[in-house]
Amino acid sequence: MNLDLELKKKKTPPKAIEKSNSSLGKLLLGAFFVITISYISYTPPARSIRDTGMKTGDIASSDIVIGRDMTVEDKEMTEANRRKVSASLLPVYEFNEEKIAGSQLLLNEWFRFFKEARKGFFLKKTDLDKLRGQIRENFGFELQPQAVNTLIRSNTFARIDLNRLLLEIKNWEEKGILLSRIGVPKGKADEIIVYHEKKGYYQARLSDFYDLNDISANLTLFFKDSPLSGREKELVKPILLDFISTNVTFSKALTQLQEEKALALVNPVFIHLKKGKIILRRGDEISKDHMRLIQLIAAEEKTSSRKIPGVLFIIMALGILFFFYWRLNILSKTGGINRPRLNFVSGMTFIASALIYRLALFIYPLILRSITLDVPMDAAGLVYAVPFAVGSLLIAFLFDLQSAVVFSTINAVIGGFICDWDFKILLYVLAGNLAVAFGVEFYQRLKRSSILKAGFFWLLPVNMLTTLLFALTDDDAGWTKAAFFVAMGIFSALLSAFVANFMIPLWEVIFKLVTDLKLVEITNLNLPCFREMLEKAPGTYHHSQMVASLAEAAAQELELSPLLVRAMALYHDIGKVDSPQYFTENQSVYEDAHGQLTPLESAKVIISHIDQGLEKAERLKLPKRVAQAISQHHGTKVVKYFYAKAQELGAGKLDEFDENMFRYPGKKPQQVEEAIIMLADQVEAAAKSLSAPNDTDIRNVVEKIIASDIAESQFDECDGLTFKAMNTIAASFYGKLASIYHQRVSYPGFDFSKKKADDHHPA
């Protein structure tokens, strides 16, 4: 159904200052929630070592217990292992094979040089000084004139078997020649590591190589049967030693590289300490090993205390989660009939939940220590007995499923933080919270028993299953441990349901929330207020019932709460009960009481039913949302009948009265529910005034009333009321009224037109 309507664009301009103040207030409130919950959730690392003045030989004044799981590095043992590895390393020597070819080449060059030098000497082309200069320049060593003269004249080098000499020297150099074996780095039993370019690294002994003393002895042996004179041998041997290369040398760089590689393979020595481990009992003497461990623990705790506290991470994480949670609530319009209070109530519920968790974690160990039953119990399993589902049950019952699901996610993170950042606890809390959220939705919110049912039939099985899986997947899994974990899960489910059932009415009162259960209770027509209305103002009673029927149908079409709208409709005219005779719907019971009143007095009596209704609402302790319908269902409209009558009686004297004196003082409808009540109230009254309404009459009534209210700007302040919603409301009213006032089939044999005027048409 389309309405050809035009809304007057008389919007109140936004107030920048108020909006800024509102945003700042929300920001401060959010910061308060985040910081408070983070403070409750954060567990400062416990100090295991409090007395830092202990010494070896002292008596421990108290137990030293590890406050948290930690892994400390035993630097002393690590360094000892490094020293042991360094001590066991062998020095690395480098074998230079290229020097063999070089020495062979030099020897050949030397023999060739002396052959040519002897020819030049005897041809008097070269003297001794010049020859000595050539030797110094070409070969880098100095020979005395007498030595050069002897070697030249004796033709010494021509009488040496060069090939045999080269072969011997090559054999010596291939074995390896050291400068000396005395005072050089070596391992036990003279072991060393040799690096050969072709062979790579291999282990050897110093005795496997020659040194220059050995080479000198070998040369002496080589020249033993030589035809050279003793003087020649003395001259030749030092010269040859200069040409023989020491090709095995200690390499500091390779040794250092080998040491670095070896030390890199030395793993640090770590000591793993579990939370609760007692490393020293009160009265024990502190040994050297105890003292070393105490120092390691103290150093670790001191180092960890310098790190950024975990509370900053918690604040950041919760800040992000809260921001998106609040944005989601705004964009998706979750929260049901209590949506405006969802963010604040959620924040307070988070705080209350965190306090409950802390209290449980404090009390449970005390109870465990006081139990004398000989039953093996794991203190770590006590965490599964914490009533983690309380908050989710509250949000699911007071708001809606979507809000409870998102709340459950954040609540699981908080639970993980409080329980020493335990990921298993996070999963445990999340699974249980989601279970109760869907459980409350399944059993609906019309009875408090839905809380207990959700706890028993949904949360309890989920807790049993998760705790059983956690117990059986632990390293020290056993059926005794599993039974204890499952028992704790059962206790948590039952305690959560009990605590939530206790807190829900408390939350309703503190935060002035409206629940479906509360709406069912206050819409019970057997309540004294409705019995009084039926007795004193039957017309008003019937009118309220009809308005409730129209409003409920429209609310269902718009996916609003039919229970809330029904409660609003039933109570919107409760103020008429004390003076029913002044209202037309009751004139079948009472005589018209306006005959003796002026139009202004009559208007004031009519308008007064708003204030009287609010007074009754306060005495009946009606929810604020329901009471708002009493003050807003007439908006700021004028009591038109008596205003027109006043105009008629005061023709020519219109300045003697003010139109505002005939105007209702209440606010205009602020939300769609109040707008529905306003329209349903007028449409029902107008439709009742039609003598024989048909579809066209009903349609015209609906359209004209809506058009009139729009023209009077009654919906300018209504949040969420769109053209689409207005058309939906109109179509719903039309369908409902058409079904009520449909034309009846005439009864054969009866002529109702001959009846008396006060006879009523059969229903």
Query: CA-to-CA distance for 464 and 659, rounded, in angstroms?
Result: 70
Tell me the domains of the chain and their CATH numbers.
92-260 (no CATH), 333-368+376-513 (1.10.1760), 523-742 (1.10.3210)
Token pair of 415 as six digits: 């639970």
Cβ partners under 8 Å of residue 289, min gap 6: none
pLDDT on residue 753:
45
What is the mean predicted confidence (pLDDT) over 725-739? 89
pLDDT interval class at 442 (50, 70, 90): very high
Q: Which residue has the tokens 């005390």?
A: 366
Q: Left (φ > 0), alpha (ψ -120 to 50) or beta: where does 635 sit?
A: left
599 or 124, greater pLDDT: 599
pLDDT the model gives residue 693: 75
Question: 35-44, 376-385, 474-483: which range is least confident on average?
Answer: 376-385
**Cα 335 to Cα 404: distance, rounded to the nearest angstrom:** 9
Q: What is the pLDDT of residue 7?
A: 39
Is the pLDDT at 676 greater than 90? The verdict is yes
Buried b (16+ CB within 10 A) or exposed e, 81-106: beeeeeeeebbbbbbbeebbeebbeb
* Distance, CA of 619 to CA of 353 (rounded, Å): 33
Q: What's residue 132's pLDDT?
A: 83
Write the Ramachandran bin of 205: left for phi over 0, alpha for psi from -120 to 50, otherwise beta.
beta
CA angle 594, 598, 604 (to 5 degrees): 80
Residue 666: strand pairing partners: none
Nearest to 546, CA basis, from 728, 686, 675:
686
Taking Cα atoms as reference points, which of 636, 737, 633, 722 lies closest to residue 684? 737
The pLDDT of residue 14 is above 80: no
Read off the pLDDT of each residue in 45-68 and give the average, rounded to a whole number.
69
As a whole number of angstroms, the distance between CA 440 and CA 458 comes to 9
> DSSP secondary structure string, 560-571?
--HHHHHHHHHH
pLDDT of residue 688: 81
CB under 8 Å to 109, separation ≥6 — which residues?
138
Q: What tokens were used for 393?
A: 């049950």
Counting every residue written for the chain, the total comes to: 763
Q: Which helix (H) or strand (E) holds 400?
A: none
Largest interatomic CA distance in the chain: 176
Take residue 336 and report the two structure tokens written for it. Answer: 């049901």
Question: d(Cα 354, Cα 38) in Å, to the nearest integer?
Answer: 9
pLDDT, tens digit, 9 for 90 and up, residues 617-628: 999 989 888 999
Cα–Cα distance measured from residue 184 to residue 180, given in angstroms and rounded to the nearest whole number: 7
pLDDT at 257: 92
Are residues 449 and 500 in contact, defined by beta-carbon separation less than 8 angstroms? no
Mean pLDDT for the stretch of residues 308-336: 84
> According to the model, what pLDDT value does residue 144 have?
86
Tell me which residue of 466, 436, 433, 468 sits closest to 451, measured CA to CA. Answer: 436
pLDDT of amino acid 8: 39
Write the pLDDT tens digit of every residue in 550-606: 999 999 998 888 999 999 999 999 998 988 888 888 877 788 788 788 888 888 988
User: Do residues 414 and 41 make contact, with C-beta atoms less than 8 angstroms apart?
Assistant: yes
Higher pLDDT, 98 or 128: 98
Q: What angle do CA 508, 509, 512 make, to 5 degrees?
A: 70
The helix-helix angle for 640-649 and 599-620 (nearest 10°) equals: 160
Nearest to 569 by CA among 677, 687, 702, 718: 677
Give the per-residue pLDDT at 755: 41
pLDDT score recorded for residue 3: 47
Q: Share the mean pLDDT of the chain.
A: 84
Instruction: List pLDDT tens digits, range 136-162.
Output: 888 887 888 888 888 888 888 888 888
Determine the pLDDT at residue 15. 41
Least confident of 255-259, 319-323, 718-722: 718-722
Structure tokens at 308: 């950024």
Q: Who wins on pLDDT, 385 or 120?
A: 385
* Residue 338 DSSP class: G
Chain segment 391-404, per-residue pLDDT in tens: 999 999 999 899 99
Window from 331-340, 631-640, 682-691 with minimum mean pLDDT: 331-340
3-state secondary structure 632-648: HCCCCCECHHHHHHHHH
Distances (CA, A) of 430 to 70, 316, 561: 27, 20, 29
Neighbours of 17 (CB within 10 A): 8
pLDDT above 90: residue 354: yes
Looking at residue 725, its amino acid is A
Q: Is 308 exposed, middle or buried (0-12, 13-18, 19+ CB in 10 A)?
A: exposed
